[in-house]
Structure 1
Amino acid sequence: MFDADSRSSFVRAIISSFVILLALLVPPVWAAQPLPVKVVVLSMFENGEPTGDKPGELQLWLERNPDLKEMPFTMGEYSLYYSDRGLLVACLGGGIPNATASTMALGLDERFDLSNAYWLIAGIAGADPEDLSLGSAAWASAVVDGDLVYEIDAREIPDNWPYGFIPLGATEPADGSQDVSTGWTLDTISFELDRGLTEWAYQLTRTTALMDTPAMQAFRAEFEGYPLAQRPPFVTKGDTLSASTYWHGEKLNEWANDWLRVYAGESADFMTSNMEDSGTLTALHRLGRAGRVDPQRVLVLRTASNYTMPPKGRSAAWSTTADYPDGGLGALDTAQRVGQTVVDALIQGWAAYRDQLPRAEARIPVVFDTDMAIDDWSALLFLARHPRIELLAVTVSASGEAHCEPGTRNALALLDLVDPHNQVPVSCGDSYPMDGYFVFPVQWQKDMDTLSGVAITPSVREADPRHGVELLHDTIAAAKAPVTIIATGPLTNIAQWLDRYPGDSDKMDRLVVMGGALDAPGNIIVPGFTDDNPNTQAEWNIYVDALAADKVLRSDLPIELVGLDVTNHVKVTKEFAAQFKARVDNPAAQFWDEVLDANQWFIDSGEYYFWDVLAALAVVDRERFCEGDMLGLAVQHKETDQPWWPSSDKTMPSASSMGTPRRHFAAASAGVIEERDGPQNTLFCRDTDAEAAFELFMNTLTSGDAARD
C-alpha cells in the first residue's frame, strides 16, 4: 500500500515519464522542417576560395547562382550551398573515399528532405581522344569502378597480356567475354544509370554552345590521327570509368575501353575517366536502401579537361602531369553551362518531375531525301539540330545538283558538325533522272559539290553501301513509328521507292516535298544555260525529273507540296544574314555563316529564298508554315522528238531506270504542275509565317546564348 505522499510521487513520476516519451515521439511544433531539395549538384574539387579566384568545379555554380546561401557541413570537405528554389550544391572532395564519405554524410543530413531530389554529378575528366575533344561533355549511362582489380607490376606483365589489370574472379586481362560473376564486391563495380533520364538530359543539352579558346585549339591540333579529338567541343553520350588512381597512357586507355565492356556490357562506350563517381554511386545506392534518396534520379556529366593518353610524339610520363590548357577552364565552364540547363529544367518542371522522371519528348522520325544543294545544307543542319526531329537516314538524289560521292561526303560532314558521334546512315540513289535528259546547270553542280568553297572537317564515317532506295525501304521497315519523308531535290529516289516497295506507304506518315509551282512563275531560266527556253512555269526539282514527280503526285501518299508559290514569301536578305552572323555560337552555325558570306552575290541578286528550309520547317509545324488547299495534282512530261539540248546531258545512259529507251521531254511543258481529277491527296502550300520561319531557323541553328571566349 502507498501512503498519500507516495501515491502523489508515483503519479508525478508517471506523468513526467509520459511527457518525456511524448517529447521523444512527437517533435515540438517549433522544430525546423527539413529543407525541400529538388536538385543536388555534386562537384568534386575547388581551387582556393569558393569564389573570386581560379575556379574549380564549385566556383562557377556559386557565381552563376547568386541566390545560393552557405551552410556549414562539418562532415564534408566544404560548406554546402542552398537556394530557396530547391537547389543544393556540394563539393565532395577529390577521390573515391572523399566522394563516398561526403555523399553519405549529405544523404543522412536531417536538415534536408532529399527523398525526391535529382542528383547531378558534374565535373571534369580525362577524355579518350578516340571519342572526345577538349571542352566536350559526355552524359554517362554507366559508371564503372577501376580500382577493384587484380594488378601486377608492369615489369612483370606476361608478353601476351596487353596490361597488368585482371578482373576480380578472372585469371587474365579483360576481353569482354569473361565470366566475372564469381568476383567479389561486384555491386560496387558497375552502376547503370536510368537511360531514359540520361537521354532526356542529352536531348535537352546536345546543341549547347560551348567555350573554346586558342589554347584548347592549339592542344587539340597536336592529336593528329584522332579526328574527334581535334573537333570543337560538343555534347554527346558516353560512359565513364572511376578510379582514385590517376592513370594515363595508351595501354591503360585500351584497358579502360575493355574494362567497361566487361562490367557494363558490349554496348558500353568508355569516353571519360574520373576519380570519384563509383564512390558517389555506392553511397547513393546505400542511402537508397534506407529510403533517404532515390538512386534512380542520378545523372553523371563529365567534361574533357585533358586526354587520357598523349598525342603522337609525346610520352605518357610527360602527358600525365602536363598542365591542362587554360587550367581546364573550358571543361569547367562546360560542366556548369550544360549542367545548369538540366538543373533549371528540373526545377521549372517540378510539378511534373517531383513524382515522375522526365523523358525525352517523342520525336518525329524523318528520312531526308536531298540533292545536297545550298539550301539543302541549311535544311539538313536544321533537321539534325531540332529537338523534335529524329533523323533516321539521309538519301542523296544525285539526279539533282550535287553528284553522288561529294553529296554523300558533304552530308556526313554536316551531320558531324551537329554530333560527331551521330550514326545517321547516308547513301546515294541513281545519278540520273528516271527518264529524260534534263540536268541542273554544270556550274551549279560544281559549286554544290564543293560546298561553295567553304572548308569543312571530313567525317570519319563512310557512306552507306546500300542504294538510296534500299536504305529508304530498310529504314521505314525498321522504324518504330510512321515515318515522315522530306524530299528537297528531284523525286527520283521517291518514285523508284514507290515502284519497288508499294507496301511501304502504309508505314508512312507524310511526304513533304519542296518543288513545283502552280500560280507562281517558274525558276528554270538561267542565262547562258537555258537561254530561249520557252518554259516559264516549271521549278527546277520537278523539271529535272518530271516523270518521277508525276508518279509521286499521282500516288496515294499524303503529300505537302512546298513550292515556289509559298517559298517566294521567305526571301533571304542581307539583313537576315547580318542577324544570323550576330548569333553564331557553334560549328554548325559557323559553317552556315561562311556559306552566306561566300554567296553574298546570291543574296544581293534577290533570287535566294528559303526553299528547302521552309519544307523542313513545315515538317516541324505544318499549321504555321504550310497553309493551303487540298488538291489533286499531276506533272506534265510530254515526249518529243525535238530535244532541248542546252539543258540536257548527252552522256546519260540510253536506258531509263525502268529499262526502256530513255526519252526526251518537251522543254516547253516539262515539269509544269497542273490540277487533275481524282483524289485530292496533296496539301498545296500557299502561305506561311515568314517572320516566324526565319526566327525558328535562327533559334535552331544557334543556341541563343553565345559561349564565352
Structure 2
Amino acid sequence: MADETAPPARQGRKLPVLFIHDAAIDDFIATLLLATMPDIDLKGIVIADADCIPQPGIDAANRLQQFMGRPDIPLALSEARGWNPFPWPYRGDCVTFGEIPGLRPYRSTVPTPPPSGDKLVAGLLEQAVAKGNKLTVLLTTGFTPLTDVVRARPELAGGIDRLVWMGGAINVAGNLDPATINPVVANKHAEWNVFWDPFAAQDGLTMFGGIHTFPLDITNDAPISKEFMARLQAQGKTFSFSQLAWEAYGLVSAEPFYDMWDVCATVFLARPDLYAPPQKMKLEVVQWGFEQGWLRQASHARHTQNVYLSFSNRNGFYDYVASQLARSA
C-alpha cells in the first residue's frame, strides 16, 4: 500500500474512493463533501453498525444520496460486529438526521435485508486488483468492516492504494465518557473508533502501513464553531447543500464534545495542503484490561503510520468546507 503523504497524481483520472462509515451526522456531511469533489470517484458506501442504528442509518444514507442526485452510488450494510457497543444516545443521531426538513421529501429505497457491505467491499477490491486501479479507502469508523474482508481474502489488500482513517488519540485524552458508559471501562485514553473493536484496530495496524491517521489530536481543533454555523445558515438561503448541513449540524452543535471528526479526515483527500506534515509513528492498540482501546506508540510495531496532529491552515479548512457546500443538487 502507498506510503506517500499526499494523494497521488492521477494524470487526469479521478481518485476511486470507497467510503466506510457508521452513519453519524458528521459522516453524512462528509458524504456531501465527497459528492462535491471533482477529482473523486465515489465507488461505494458501506455503513457499519457502530455509531448508529443500522436500519435508520442506511435509510438516511439512501435518502441523502437521493437529495444529492446520486442514488447510483452502491450502498450496503457491513456484516461486521464490534466489541464495545456505542452508547444508545449517540446512535440515535442517525434517526434525528433522517427527520431534518431537507430529507423529508425522500423515501428510502433500501431493500430488506440491505445489501451486504462485505460483498461490496470484496467486489470493489476485486475490481481494483483486476484492473490495476487501486482504491483509496476512507474509513471513519472501526476497522472491522475492512479487516473482516481482508482477513478472509488477504489478496484483496492489493486493491488498496491508501487508507485514510479517523481514529485514536495520541497526545490528548480519549473520548470515552463515564456519563454514557460504565466508569469501569471508561479509560482516559481510548477513542471510540478504536474502542468499538480494539482487536480489529490492531489487525488494521498489522495489515497496513502508511495509514493516514487523523486522531483526536487534530479533530479537537475542528469544532462546529458558531462562525461556521452562521456561514452555513447564510449560504443556506441560496444553496441546498449548505441548508442541509446547517440543519444537520444544528442537531449537535450545542454539544461541547462534538467536532468535525470525519470531515477532518475527508477534506484531506482534496486538500492535503491544509494539514501539517504527518508524524511518522509505529502504533499499537491495547487489547485487554482497563486501558482497552488505547492507541499508543510502540517501537516494536510492524508498520509505520502517517499521523496528522495539526492543521497548517485551520481557517482554510473551514473555508474549504463552507465553499464546497455552497452549491445545490
**How would you bin the TM-score normalised by the shorter chain?**
0.7 to 0.9
Q: Does 2:91 align with 1:468?
A: no
Q: 2: CA distance between counterparts of 1:482 and 1:468?
A: 18
Give the aligned partner of residue 458 of structure 1. Answer: 106
Task: Name the Cα RMSD after superposition.
Answer: 2.3
Cα separation, 1, equivalents of 2:244 and 2:186: 38
The answer to whether the aligner puts 1:701 opposite 2:325 as a matched pair is yes
Paired residue secondary structure (1:394): strand
Superposition misfits of 4+ residues, deviation over 6 angstroms? none
Aligned-residue offset at 1:679? 4.0
Give 1:502 deviation, angstroms.
1.2
Cα distance in 1 for residues equivalent to 2:53 and 2:17: 23
Letter in 2 for 1:385: T
Aligned residues of 1:385 and 1:418 also touching (Cα < 8 A): no
205, 212, 218: which one aligns with 1:553? 205
- CA distance in 2 between counterparts of 1:465 and 1:533 reads 33
Provide the C-alpha distance between the structure 2 equivalents of 1:552 and 1:459, rounded to a whole number of angstroms: 36
1:424 aligned counterpart, secondary structure:
coil
TM-score, normalization by structure 2: 0.87
Q: 1:465 to 1:572 in 2, by over 3 A?
A: closer
- Quote the Cα distance in structure 2 between the aligned partners of 1:396 and 1:426: 8
- Secondary structure class of the residue paired with 1:583: helix
Letter in 2 for 1:367: L
Match of 2:244 among 591, 610, 614: 591
Structure 1 partner of 2:272: 622
Asked whether the 8 Å contact 1:418–1:587 carries over to 2, the reply is no
Post-superposition Cα deviations, 1:366-421, rounded to whole Å, max 9, x if no partner, equal 000000101111111111221121100000111x111222221111111222215x
The SS at the match of 2:254 is: helix
Change (3 A) 1:524 1:534: closer
Kindly indicate whether residue 75 of structure 2 is the aligned counterpart of residue 429 of structure 1.
no
Distance (Å, rounded) in 2 between the aligned partners of 1:424 and 1:393: 6
Equivalent-residue separation in structure 1 for 2:159 and 2:121 (angstroms): 12
2:174 paired residue number? 522
Distance 1:562 1:698, change over 3 A: same
The equivalent residue for 1:389 is 40
CA apart distance, 1:579: 1.3
Specify which of 195, 199, 202 is matched with residue 543 of structure 1. 195
- For 2:18, give the aligned amino acid: V
Aligned length in residues: 310
Q: How far apart, in 1, do the equivalents of 2:276 and 2:27 lie?
A: 18
Letter in 1 for 2:23: M
Alignment map for 1:185-196 (pairs within 5 Å)? none
1-structure distance, mates of 2:108, 2:56: 14
Give the greater-gyration-radius structure (CA). Answer: 1
Per-residue CA shift, 1:515-568, capped at 9, x if unaligned?
101111101115243446450011011111111111001113431110101111
Change (3 A) 1:557 1:474: farther
- 1:252-651 correspondence to structure 2 within 5 Å: 361-398=12-49, 400-420=50-70, 422-430=71-79, 432-433=81-82, 436=83, 438-451=84-97, 453-455=99-101, 456=103, 457-459=105-107, 461-462=109-110, 465-479=114-128, 480=131, 481-531=133-183, 533-584=185-236, 585-602=238-255, 605=256, 607-625=257-275, 627-638=277-288
Q: Does 2:317 correspond to 1:685? A: no
Residue 686 of structure 1 aligns to a residue whose secondary structure is coil
* Alpha-carbon distance between aligned partners in 1 of 2:303 and 2:90, rounded to the nearest angstrom: 35
Give the CA deviation at 1:685: 0.8
The higher relative CO (CA closer than 8 Å, separation ≥ 6) is in 2
Q: Is the 8 A contact 1:630 1:682 kept in 2?
A: yes
**8 Å Cα contact 1:554-1:633 kept in structure 2:** no
Return the offset for 1:492: 1.4
Q: Is the 8 A contact 1:375 1:612 kept in 2?
A: yes
2:295 aligned to 660, 673, 681, which one?
Answer: 673
Paired with 2:293 and 2:191, the residues of 1 have a C-alpha distance of 7
Contact kept, 8 Å, 1:628 with 1:685, in 2: the verdict is: yes
Relative to structure 1, the CA distance from residue 560 to residue 364 in structure 2 (aligned partners, 3 Å threshold; closer, same or farther) is same
CA distance 1:361–1:462, shift in 2 (3 Å): farther
Q: Cα gap change, 1:556/1:595 in structure 2, threshold over 3 Å: closer, same or farther? A: closer
How many angstroms apart in 2 are the aligned matches of 1:581 and 1:393?
A: 30
Quickly say closer, same or farther: Cα 1:465–1:600, change in 2 above 3 A. closer
Check whether the contact 1:510–1:557 (CA below 8 A) recurs between aligned residues.
Answer: no
Paired residue secondary structure (1:511): strand
| Separation in 2, partners of 1:429, 1:571 | 29
**How far 1:361 moved relative to its partner?**
4.4
Q: Secondary structure at the match of 1:552?
A: helix
**Percent of pairs with identical residues:** 24
CA distance in 2, matches of 1:539, 1:460: 32
5 Å-filtered alignment, 1:34-433, equals 361-398=12-49, 400-420=50-70, 422-430=71-79, 432-433=81-82
Cα distance change on mapping 1:459 and 1:503 into 2, 3 Å: farther
- Normalising by structure 1, we get a TM-score of 0.42
Query: What runs of 5+ residues in structure 1 fail to find an aligned partner?
Result: 1-359, 639-665
Deviation at 1:466, TM superposition (A): 3.8
Q: Distance in 1 between matches of 2:261 and 2:253?
A: 17
CA-CA distance at 1:431 after TM superposition:
5.7
